[in-house]
Structure 1
Amino acid sequence: MSRLPVHRTSLLPDLNDLWNAFTPPGLALFGTHLLRVEDTVEDGHYIVRAEIPGIDPAKDVEVSVQERQLTIKAERSEKHVEKGRSEFNYGSFYRTVTLPPGAEGEGIEATYAKGILTISIPMGQTKESAKRIEVKPGE
């Protein structure tokens, strides 16, 4: 298993949650919550996992690929009622990840289990090769 270099801001979702916990509604740090994701390359597939607990994957998640950009959108709405007390949690989430060279647009699969969305994208052969540039003398 190899990790691809992806620009991450790992503390950002935690800071966003902390900020939202202490501010009134409407003053969120970001307009929507960020999804926590991890990515790896396993057995010829680029794998993206997103943590999205408490959703119905059939109606609350949208996964799309356009121009080497994988976009995950989700919306959660939960309500808990217990002994005359109710509590709700809602929000929309999104994340866009740039696909690595060699990722193919066909044959993409997405599954959801135990609060984790897993997206598997087949990787083709990358045609990366070094190209020698001739240096010409200047005047």
Structure 2
Amino acid sequence: MMTRTKSLQKNHSVDPWLNDVFNSFFNDHGLSNSFSSKSPAVNIVEKDNGFEIELATPGLKKEDFNISIEKNVLTISAETKSEENVEEKKYNKREFNYTSFSRSFTLPDNINDEDVNAKYDDGVLTVSLNKKEEVDTKKTVVIS
């Protein structure tokens, strides 16, 4: 019995596009980019008088951030959407530019939630939280 083998010819105009789509989606890197939320890297530094929380957030503006404290939970969030006026839609691949994140931190009880400062410089948001003044509870009171 004779077996015929059919030679598969590649369609070079479609293969690179399909490979790009499927490889970028199904490899680990593509899955992590597609399905995980991206939140900025954080450094937390304790100082004598408080804490500093630094978030790496390049490409944002100061007005993009929302910072709030409710019930000892500090929440830092941002949302931006970049819209460009494209007169001719003649692109094969274009990715929308949309950034959104929210990070929450439980604060210790000794934080003064009315003394919080934030600054944004060179892509790093720094939130400074000051500690409450300590009340001397070891003070001896003599009652006569």
Aligning the two structures, in what range does the TM-score lie when normalised by the shorter sequence? 0.5 to 0.7
TM-score, length basis structure 1: 0.61
- 52, 55, 70: which is aligned to 2:57? 52
Answer 1 or 2: which has greater strand percent: 1
Q: Report the CA distance between 1:116 and its aligned residue.
A: 0.5
- The runs of 5 or more residues in structure 1 that have no matched partner are 1-17, 130-139
Separation in 1 of the partners of 2:107 and 2:97?
31
- Structure 1 segments, 4+ long, off by >2 Å, are 76-81, 84-89
Instruction: Specify which of 95, 111, 115 is matched with residue 103 of structure 1.
Output: 111
Structure whose alpha-carbon radius of gyration is higher: 2
Identity %: 27
Residue matched to 1:15 = none
In 2, Cα distance between the equivalents of 1:107 and 1:126? Answer: 15
Which runs of 5 or more residues in structure 2 are unaligned?
1-26, 138-144
Equivalences for residues 37-48 of structure 1 within 5 A: 37-48=42-53
How far apart are residue 36 of structure 1 and its match? 1.5
- Residue identity opposite 1:34 in structure 2: S
Residues 126 and 34 of structure 1, relative CA distance in 2, 3 Å threshold:
farther
What is the identity, as a one-letter code, of the residue corresponding to 1:113?
D
Judged with a 3 Å threshold, the aligned counterparts in structure 2 of structure 1 residues 115 and 24 are, in CA distance, closer, same or farther, namely closer
Larger % of helix: which? 2
